[in-house]
A and B are shown apart, each in its own frame.
Chain A
């Protein structure tokens, strides 16, 4: 390992981490703004021009509030909960390809932290770990509401992970690789061999299932039962205050960002954009444009998460389980079978 390589990766990791935190911080503002717009209000607008500094104000508030650790709680696990939630949320972005290779002189800089050949499974593993933060935090609070929230979170995440994994299997049958970079490269351009090259056009059902499941995995409305404020008194973070509460809320937004990035990479072509190879631009310009397009897609998905939140009411718990086990899992198995038939027919022709 040469020094330049290490520096390159360290810089990339730092930049991605900062971007993740920045986007998560401004997602909180965007959420409140969009909620306001949809409800005919303006949202926060006092801190800075049209509320631009609201995340800073929120962060400052979180930092300076009193940290309360309940007397009967388990102090170590009580602190470990939000830390784990934040950790598992932020390591997911390591395998996402942010763009094609950047060529500066002789150096080829890969805009991806780690191109491991089991990228999708890595993401999947991180997602399945995400529930530990909530469970440990909820249990350690020593509060019935928190425990209920933790239990709901665990059962919900496990249920929807299955459907998510099965919908991914259908996708993998099409792409035949587990590497996210490989999947992104296969979707080059927009139109290839007489059909759209983006995976959403050959896996529409799979995308739908994946979308619903990622809503459930991020604990977003309509699946925000673990933290439902009016029936469980905020669920697993009832007892949390100050920065530890902030860590929980922040990790939700980071999860949303990573989920949006994964969805855009897997189904919406990642950094590819229409006519990217026909504009006659140099490779580096195409790469930078690709990064811009990837972020545009990510922002759209983040907006979509919020749009759904302010449109659809929360599910009842039995409805949630019904949807997961009786609808999404059979659908995704059917999707696998259909994909298998389609691939076989295509090979025969």
Chain B
């Protein structure tokens, strides 16, 4: 349990650093560490598959792309676009909306008792696969179609229009 508090403290600490550092590259690096602590959380919950998938997909792929894009940006202070007041107001409103949604959803969440989890091995690959392909087959396939659509869209965006070169 102490380990949990340590890891939880670390993940909150690093996610705060993500927000408060000035340099965006540092932000991404702290985000990597934050995701790493999330992986440790999953392992503590005996969800090895989720841990390793979080590791591969978020740390290994998505954040590499984040870093990739940030490296290509010119991060000088002078070239930073001036943030207008309108943008700031929009940001505040959006943030408050997110906060409201979070608060609303938290009210609905029931407290589950992790000690009484019926199957402690639910996070292992075999059980997870069975659950995904039996109980949640439809949402699983629907989300895969969503991903496919996104992929096709990305390819189309990247493709040059032959009539318009």
A residues bordering B, Cβ < 8 Å? 77, 116-118, 121-122, 124-125, 127-129, 131-132, 135-136, 139, 147, 150-151, 154-155, 157-158, 161, 178
A210 to chain B, nearest CB (A): 16
B28 to chain A, nearest CB (A): 10
User: In the bound complex, what is the Cα–Cα distance between A158 and B25 (angstroms)?
Assistant: 19
* Known pairs A136-B29, A151-B71; A161 contacts B60 (CB<8 A): yes
User: In the bound complex, what is the Cα–Cα distance between A122 and B60 (angstroms)?
Assistant: 11
Q: Which B residues from 18 to 58 make CB contacts under 8 A with A? A: 25, 29, 32, 48-49, 52-53, 55-56
Residue on A nearest B70 in the bound complex, by CB: A139
B residues bordering A, Cβ < 8 Å? 25, 29, 32, 48-49, 52-53, 55-56, 59-61, 64-65, 67-68, 71-72, 124-125
The 8 Å CB contact of A135, one of B49, B55, B59, B71, is: B71
Q: Quick check: B32 and A135 within 8 Å, CB to CB?
A: no
The 8 Å CB contact of A154, one of B25, B29, B53, B67, is: B67
| Set of chain B residues within 8 Å of A135, measured between Cβ atoms | 64, 67-68, 71
Q: Quick check: B49 and A128 within 8 Å, CB to CB?
A: no
The total of Cβ contacts below 8 Å across the A-B interface reads 62
Q: Quick check: B60 and A139 within 8 Å, CB to CB?
A: no
| Set of chain A residues within 8 Å of B72, measured between Cβ atoms | 151
Residue on A nearest B25 in the bound complex, by CB: A139
| Set of chain A residues within 8 Å of B32, measured between Cβ atoms | 132
User: In the bound complex, what is the Cα–Cα distance between A121 and B55 (angstroms)?
Assistant: 9
A140 to chain B, nearest CB (A): 9
User: In the bound complex, what is the Cα–Cα distance between A139 and B71 (angstroms)?
Assistant: 7
A84 to chain B, nearest CB (A): 10
A344 to chain B, nearest CB (A): 16
User: In the bound complex, what is the Cα–Cα distance between A121 and B60 (angstroms)?
Assistant: 12
Q: Quick check: A121 and B64 within 8 Å, CB to CB?
A: no
Q: Quick check: B64 and A154 within 8 Å, CB to CB?
A: yes
Main secondary structure of the interface of A (DSSP, over half): helix
| Set of chain A residues within 8 Å of B67, measured between Cβ atoms | 132, 135-136, 139, 154
* Known pairs A129-B59, A136-B29; A117 contacts B65 (CB<8 A): no
User: In the bound complex, what is the Cα–Cα distance between A154 and B32 (angstroms)?
Assistant: 15
**Besides A131-B64, A135-B67, 4 new A-B residue pairs in contact (Cβ under 8 A), listed by A number:** A124-B52, A128-B56, A128-B61, A151-B72
B93 to chain A, nearest CB (A): 35
Q: Quick check: B60 and A128 within 8 Å, CB to CB?
A: yes
Q: Quick check: A125 and B124 within 8 Å, CB to CB?
A: no
Q: Quick check: B59 and A154 within 8 Å, CB to CB?
A: no
B32 to chain A, nearest CB (A): 7
Q: Quick check: A118 and B68 within 8 Å, CB to CB?
A: no
* Known pairs A118-B125, A121-B56, A151-B71; A158 contacts B48 (CB<8 A): no
B158 to chain A, nearest CB (A): 11
| Set of chain A residues within 8 Å of B65, measured between Cβ atoms | 158
Q: Quick check: B71 and A128 within 8 Å, CB to CB?
A: no
A162 to chain B, nearest CB (A): 9
Q: Quick check: A155 and B49 within 8 Å, CB to CB?
A: no
Q: Quick check: B71 and A118 within 8 Å, CB to CB?
A: no
* Known pairs A117-B124, A136-B29, A150-B71; A158 contacts B49 (CB<8 A): no
Q: Quick check: A118 and B52 within 8 Å, CB to CB?
A: yes
Q: Quick check: B52 and A158 within 8 Å, CB to CB?
A: no
| Set of chain B residues within 8 Å of A147, measured between Cβ atoms | 71
User: In the bound complex, what is the Cα–Cα distance between A128 and B125 (angstroms)?
Assistant: 20
A186 to chain B, nearest CB (A): 16
Q: Quick check: A178 and B60 within 8 Å, CB to CB?
A: no
Residue on A nearest B53 in the bound complex, by CB: A121
| Set of chain A residues within 8 Å of B59, measured between Cβ atoms | 125, 128-129
| Set of chain A residues within 8 Å of B125, measured between Cβ atoms | 117-118, 178
Q: Which interface residue of B25, B49, B68 has the most chain A CB atoms within 10 A? A: B68
| Set of chain B residues within 8 Å of A151, measured between Cβ atoms | 68, 71-72
A300 to chain B, nearest CB (A): 29
| Set of chain A residues within 8 Å of B71, measured between Cβ atoms | 135, 139, 147, 150-151
B99 to chain A, nearest CB (A): 33
| Set of chain B residues within 8 Å of A131, measured between Cβ atoms | 64
Can you pick out 12 interface pairs between chain A and chain B where the beta carbons lie within 8 Å of each other? A117-B124, A121-B56, A122-B52, A125-B55, A125-B56, A125-B60, A127-B60, A128-B59, A128-B60, A136-B67, A139-B71, A151-B68
| Set of chain B residues within 8 Å of A157, measured between Cβ atoms | 64
User: In the bound complex, what is the Cα–Cα distance between A77 and B32 (angstroms)?
Assistant: 14
| Set of chain B residues within 8 Å of A124, measured between Cβ atoms | 52, 56, 60
User: In the bound complex, what is the Cα–Cα distance between A135 and B55 (angstroms)?
Assistant: 18
Q: Which interface residue of A121, A135, A136 has the most chain B CB atoms within 10 A? A: A121
A75 to chain B, nearest CB (A): 13
